[in-house]
Structure 1
Amino acid sequence: MVGRLDDYMRFNETVLSLRDKRQTVLASNIANADTPNYKARDIDFSSALQSALDKADPNAQRTLTTTAAKHYPNPQQDAGTLADGTPLLYRGVIQGAVDGNTVDMDVEQNQFADNAIRYEAGITAINGQIKAMLAAIQPGS
């Protein structure tokens, strides 16, 4: 029973988790807008979502887990990935700056607002799922 509920909620849970991570990356870009040589980063949302859904699939082939602190993470992480293995990409340079910074505040603020709206839409979708489940278990409805 719990497994079926998890399966029912998994997609929207995964979307919200990725939206949260992307919001953090975008906020970091905005915070470093005046940092010399800072390169703006972003997540390819559709491929990251597909990868996360593949990992969440109970029938998918699993990777080995580490059992000691000295083991290398699988896959290895570097500055180009988030903790869950989601790759961080560099945003293309729209207008270069003399100090080497590639953050375009108009682009970053637009992406930040777009991601926030999509996050709110995800919350609305989850609320709808919960209301539907509650309606299904209410007696006499």
Structure 2
Amino acid sequence: MAINFENGLGIHQYSLGIRAQRAEVLSSNIANSNTPGYKARDVDFASAMNSARSHQQGLQMSQTTDKHFDLKALSQEHVQFRVPNQPDTGDGNTVDSQQEQAAFMQNSLEYQMSLGFLESKFSGMRKAIRGD
């Protein structure tokens, strides 16, 4: 009997990819906190997860077989400009360093949590295969 990773892993595989993309966007915001005219961006996690759920395909890459994951969930369509919490300082930059660092830390914790969920899913599959 074949193992269906789509059913076995559920939505956690997509969550992990979206969290990784969000980490890149947030770190870009932090790196550009002093760049004049830079606009802070963020990933709309809810819409990215809804998109992943509706596609249930995942991440878009070159597919040599229809069993490969589809990476569409990680497209830039879910990256949006953030509405600033503070007034413009005069240089057009909308990055609030403290907010970005807090969001980055929260995202890191959620990324680790997603890894933990995936690890437990794989552990369960391993036990099922071995008959433990």
Please, what TM-score do these two structures have when normalized by structure 2?
Answer: 0.79
Kindly tell me: are residues 85 and 38 of structure 1, through their superposed partners in 2, closer, same or farther at Cα, counting changes over 3 Å? Answer: closer
Contact 2:45 2:78 in 1 (8 A): no
Cα distance in structure 2, aligned partners of 1:39 and 1:14: 27
Q: Does 1:109 align with 2:109?
A: no
State the match for 1:132 in structure 2. 124
* RMSD (Å) for aligned C-alpha atoms: 1.8
Q: Which runs of 5+ in 1 are unaligned?
A: 58-81
1:87 to 62, 78, 88: 78
Kindly tell me: are residues 51 and 117 of structure 1, through their superposed partners in 2, closer, same or farther at Cα, counting changes over 3 Å? Answer: same
Query: How many residue pairs are counted as aligned between the two chains?
Result: 115
Q: Among all aligned residue pairs of Structure 1 and Structure 2, give the percentage whose two residues are the same amino acid.
A: 34
State the match for 2:20 in structure 1. 20
1:43, CA displacement in angstroms? 1.1
Map 1:1-141 → 2, pairs under 5 A: 1-2=2-3, 4-56=4-56, 84-95=75-86, 96-139=88-131, 141=132
1:83, CA displacement in angstroms? 6.7
1:89, CA displacement in angstroms? 1.4
Kindly tell me: are residues 93 and 85 of structure 1, through their superposed partners in 2, closer, same or farther at Cα, counting changes over 3 Å? Answer: closer
Cα distance in structure 1, aligned partners of 2:33 and 2:24: 14
Q: Which moved more, 1:24-33 or 1:6-15?
A: 6-15
Kindly tell me: are residues 52 and 83 of structure 1, through their superposed partners in 2, closer, same or farther at Cα, counting changes over 3 Å? Answer: closer
Deviation per residue, 1:79-132 (Å, 9 max, x gap):
xxx972533211111122121100000100000000000000000001101111
Cα distance in structure 1, aligned partners of 2:130 and 2:74: 41
Give the secondary-structure state (helix, strand or coil) at the position aligned to 1:99.
coil
- Counting helix residues as a fraction of each chain, which structure ranks higher? 2
Cα distance in structure 1, aligned partners of 2:10 and 2:17: 10
Q: Which runs of 5+ in 2 are unaligned?
A: 58-72
Letter paired with 2:84: V
Cα distance in structure 1, aligned partners of 2:105 and 2:74: 24
Cα distance in structure 2, aligned partners of 1:134 and 1:83: 28
Structure with bigger gyration radius:
1
Please, what TM-score do these two structures have when normalized by structure 1?
Answer: 0.75
